[in-house]
Amino acid sequence: MNLPSLLWPNPDAIPAPPQPGILGILASGNGSNFEAIAQAIEAGELPAHIAVVITNNPEAYVRQRAQRRGIPCVLLNHREYPSREALDAAIVQVLQQHQVEWVIMAGWMRLVTQVLLSAYPERVLNLHPSLLPSFKGLRAVEQALACGVKITGCTVHRVTLEMDSGPIVAQAAVPVLPEDTVESLHRRIQVQEHRLYPLAIRLCLAEGSRLPKFSEKRHN
């Protein structure tokens, strides 16, 4: 069946960023979105460089994906830090060591604190598998199915302290089919995530010139 999908903003309307962005990816699991971003960079669709991947999960498959691509992957296991703030301070240190300008949460399953947001104001993006503001938090696909919605999708938004609530950057809609399971619906949402996230990053890079520049001092 040829399913319609709707994505906004229109990819053709996204201007070219003035310069390539330096990305740091935060990922807790499989890393298919990391892969999609890396492929978009390779294809010349996203002018960016992935400087580092950070994971909190020793078992995360994203570690192997990063290794295959020769991208440094740093494990910061949240269990080894006394607080969320302490973990975020360690994350900021690694990001700054790698000169990262944009923090891209791709399947990152930890809440962030002001420590990260203050280091990267307006420069932390998250991907969520629903059309926000519906179905925030864990098991978003399950929530959508249980609610009986006929259209769901995925959202890229700027991260704020409140979970899944920051300003929305881009969204893609995905129809829910009568026979859908959580797995089948999540698979179709992920197809859209893989299109949407590189476009949303490109849009933020294009708009990024109005944000405060990253000084040398910030990277020390």
- Collect all residues with Cβ–Cβ distance below 8 Å to 98 and sequence separation of at least 6: 22, 24, 51, 52, 72
The distance from CA 195 to its chain's CA centroid, rounded to whole angstroms, is: 12
Which residue's CB atom is positioned nearest to ligand GAR?
107
Q: How far is the CB of 190 from ligand GAR (least distance, A)?
A: 5
Q: How far is the CB of 1 from ligand GAR (least distance, A)?
A: 22
Q: How far is the CB of 115 from ligand GAR (least distance, A)?
A: 19
Q: Choose among 96, 95, 126: nearest CA to 111.
A: 126
Between the CA of residue 200 and those of 149, 203, 205, what are the distances in Å?
Answer: 25, 5, 9
Of 41 and 140, CB closest to ligand GAR: 140
Among residues 49, 78, 128, 186, the one annotated as catalytic is: 128
Give the separation between CA 203 and CA 134, rounded to whole angstroms. Answer: 23
Of 33 and 152, CB closest to ligand GAR: 33
Of 109 and 211, CB closest to ligand GAR: 109
Q: Note whether 54 and 91 are within 8 A (CB).
A: yes
Q: Which residue is associated with the tokens 């910061």?
A: 76
Q: How far is the CB of 69 from ligand GAR (least distance, A)?
A: 14
Of 163 and 211, CB closest to ligand GAR: 163
Of 107 and 208, CB closest to ligand GAR: 107
Q: How far is the CB of 213 from ligand GAR (least distance, A)?
A: 29
Annotate 60-103 with DSSP letters as a single string.
-THHHHHHHHT--EEE--GGGSSSHHHHHHHHHHHHHHTT--EE
Give the interface with ligand GAR as residue ranges (CB under 6 A). 27, 29-33, 106-107, 127-129, 140, 154, 190, 193
Identify whether 49 is a catalytic site residue. no
Mark residue 70 as left, alpha or beta (left: phi above 0; alpha: psi -120 to 50; beta: remaining). left
What single-letter DSSP state applies at residue 18? Answer: S
Catalytic annotation, residues:
128
